[in-house]
Structure 1
Amino acid sequence: GGVPLSVEYTRAVGELAAENGLRLHLDGARLFNAAAALDVPPAALVAPVDSLTFCLSKGLCAPVGSVICGSEAFIRKAHRIRKQLGGGMRQAGILAAAGIVALEQVVPRLKEDHQRARDLASGLAALPGVILDPGSPQTNMVYLTLDEYIPMDARETANRLKARGVLVGVVGERRFRLVTHYWIDDEAVQRTVDIFSTVLAG
């Protein structure tokens, strides 16, 4: 998680799909984080695809919503299938407005989230008992594992962190995922490191 695919990779997949007469869809849930990490325009990552989706809430802080993109014929078909499956929403303008804010105001500052993830990783890696994933983080996700000598497992550690106001994702018996975003500032990063230190010290 949190590892962006390169422009060269997506181009190669696009060429392979074209050679075999296949259409290519990209699940670009965190497309803009990937583009920011690679320092390329999003268009460069999606150039080979026939259709794509991207999320307005993952990393972009909109309350809800995803966008599907493709040719006019593809979108017409998607609308028809959505109606057949009972999808749709009335008075969706307020959610669309939040999506516009996400694209116009949050996307340009995603590199700040990535820097805070690096700061968080650096602080946590200095704590005894914390093993950071090699090469982590590349975007705004930090993955770490508790060393075997730490008596608590990930779930118990997460509960103790939560009691002190820090929320982490448990992704394994001794493994966590932490994500930085618009609402995480420098103070929150340092507070997280300090609370981790307190909890792991017992």
Structure 2
Amino acid sequence: MLTLALQLVDRVIQLEKRREDVRRNRYADFVAPMMGNVDAIHKDYLDSFRKYEAMLDDSSVPLTQGHPIFSAIKSDNLYSEGLRAKVDRLEPLNFYDIDTDLARFVDTVRRYLVDTMYDEREQSSQYIRTPFALELMHQLEESSAPDKLRRATARLMLTQTVERLQQRYGELISLHENLKKTLLKPH
């Protein structure tokens, strides 16, 4: 009887160890790489927005619908598509339906990629820069204001876009840290 009880205890310990290994592997194989990709995307966005800010500050080029900022946005979208596609198309295979924390993390990553000021149903990964470009283009079409005022408005629009992006990134960082603690802590 004692031998049977010891075998049962040993089996419970093995099962708990296996569960812990599965959680650690889930973090190492899926969550950490996804977060690494998100960090690269975030850095790319911030670098591009700093570049746009400098372009808007250069008053030697009038801020019109032909301003070089629009070509820069188009180029940045083109050359960063692979970064976003890697994250946007990922799904955590068979544990998506059973791990609600992981599902929430993936949903938050996808929301990070979408500028919530705009329609999230669009089937494009150009969610952050393109809406800014479209809003700026619309503002330039509608405005007969002097160049200095158009630039100030454009800078404000850019700042608001970056603030929304930073807020969503902060939410994602917080969720990632909580998920990391959950998956890596021994039970």
- Give the TM-score normalised by structure 1: 0.24
The structure that is helix-richer by fraction is: 2
**Which structure: larger Rg?**
2
The structure that is strand-richer by fraction is: 1
- Give the TM-score normalised by structure 2: 0.26
